[in-house]
Amino acid sequence: MNASDTRLWRLMQPAVTLVLVVVSIGVPLWLVVVTAGKSRGEALNPDLSLPSEWHLLDNLRQVWTDGEVLSASLGSLLVVVPAVLGVLLFGSMAAWILARRATRLNAVLYALAISGIVLPPAVVTVVLLLRQLGLAGTAVGMIGVYMGIYMSTVIFFVTGFVRTIPSSLEEAAQMDGAGPMKVFWLVVLPLLRPVLATATILVCLYVWNDVFYAFFVIGGRVDTLPLNLFRVASAGLYLNNWHLIFAYVVLMSLPLIAVFAIAQRKIISGITSGAVK
């Protein structure tokens, strides 16, 4: 590439970017919005045309009741919030010790603890185990399963982070007579803020959108947003109710878009900071 090629590329790049965004992201999102606004007849064969008359609010109202969006949102929150808080707290407690006490036993424990990053969870037998524990089909069982699946990710990220922060602050607090609980809670945990932000974003993303594990563990007994989308869509596909499926997608994505709009910068730096060292 010589200088004139470079100048040409500088001119072309915005146009290429614009076309790519419109074609690869704009078209699918446009399809969702216009189909969610159509009547049943118009939405039978979803296309990119505008609805002849907007029925968006009617459709939203219908899926709100058909898809039990309110109870599904509560169900999702009931599972996601304790699972994320638990996995972050317990994961960082373990990671702190694993990072600070470099014994041979801890090296083995660390390897075991992070094995879950790559290894897939045993979804079928976990149901058997939950039945034996009396937790099958309960929110508590689901929270435990999610914590078990994402504990490895949290321990991996946090241990790596703890190793980069000097231990002098902890030791100062210890000299002042603070016990391990106090040191962890008042000194270590606040220092972990950046890595915990990353881990929160990743784990929330996975747990909030999960259907696969939810099928096995709570299928049908606790409503969550993705499970209800699957229910609405399975019934809707049979009847070709694309307008309802996409109205549900719109409803389900609204909280996410709101969070993203507010914390966009944080999310982007959060996702990237953990991955590349």
Partner 1 sequence: MLTTARATAPSRLATRGRPAIRRRTHPMWFMAPAFAILLVFFFLPTIFNFVYAFTDWSGFKSEIRPVGLDNFTDLASNGTLFRSLRVTVVYAVLVAIFQNVFGFGLAVLLERDTWLNRLARVFFLIPVLMSALAVGYIFQALLKPTGALNRLLGIDYAWLGDTTWTVVVVALIHAWKWMGLSMLIYLAGLKTIPEDIVEAARIDGATRWRTFWTVRFPLLAPAITFNVATALLGSMNGFDIAQATTGGGPARTTEILNIFIYRTFGQGLFAQATTMSLVLFLLVALMAFPVIYVLRKREEIL
At 64, list the tokens: 């709100």
What one-letter code names the amino acid at 106? N
Binding status of residue 197 toward partner 1 by CB under 8 A: no
- The crossing angle, in degrees rounded to 10, of helices 242-275 and 69-100 is 10
Report the site for partner 1 in 86-105 (rule: CB under 8 A).
Answer: 86, 90-91, 93-94, 96-98, 100-103
Report the site for partner 1 in 37-66 (rule: CB under 8 A).
Answer: 45-48
Burial class of 100 by CB neighbour count within 10 A (0 to 12, 13 to 18, 19+): middle
Element (H, E) at 234: helix 225-239
Report the site for partner 1 in 214-233 (rule: CB under 8 A).
Answer: 215-216, 225-226, 229-230, 233
Site string for partner 1, 138-167 (x = CB under 8 A): ------xx-xxx-xx--x----------xx
Binding status of residue 186 toward partner 1 by CB under 8 A: no
Binding status of residue 116 toward partner 1 by CB under 8 A: yes
- Choice between 54 and 226, CB closer to partner 1: 226
Summary count for the chain: helices (H), strands (E): 15, 0
User: What is the C-alpha separation between 216 and 43, in angstroms, rounded?
Assistant: 32
User: What is the C-alpha separation between 241 and 235, in angstroms, rounded?
Assistant: 8
- Choice between 78 and 94, CB closer to partner 1: 94
**Residue from 7, 8, 20, 108 binding partner 1 (CB under 8 A):** 20
The four Cα atoms 263, 268, 272, 274 give a dihedral, to 10 degrees, of 10
Report the site for partner 1 in 227-266 (rule: CB under 8 A).
Answer: 229-230, 233, 237, 242, 245-246, 249, 252-253, 256, 260, 264
User: What is the C-alpha separation between 127 and 116, in angstroms, rounded?
Assistant: 18
Binding status of residue 177 toward partner 1 by CB under 8 A: no
Binding status of residue 6 toward partner 1 by CB under 8 A: yes
Residue 260 beta carbon to partner 1: minimum distance, rounded to whole angstroms: 6
